[in-house]
Amino acid sequence: RVTRAVLEACATVCGVCAEECERHADRHDHCRVCAEACRRCERACNDLIASLA
């Protein structure tokens, strides 16, 4: 249960961060890079959650 909760929190944080950075990605390269990294992390967390089922 703890692992799932941590992964869900991580996926949520990464998704929110990506959304914020995507708003600025067209003007700032570091925001584009951050958004891409956050989306990858979000997907990885969700993949791990799915593998726990």
Q: What is the pLDDT of residues 4-32, one digit of tens each?
A: 999 999 999 999 999 999 999 999 999 99
At residue 53, the pLDDT reads 75
CA distance 39 to 4: 18
Measured distance CA(3)–CA(15) in Å, rounded = 18
Q: Residue for token digits 């990858």?
A: 40
Q: What is the pLDDT of residue 14?
A: 98
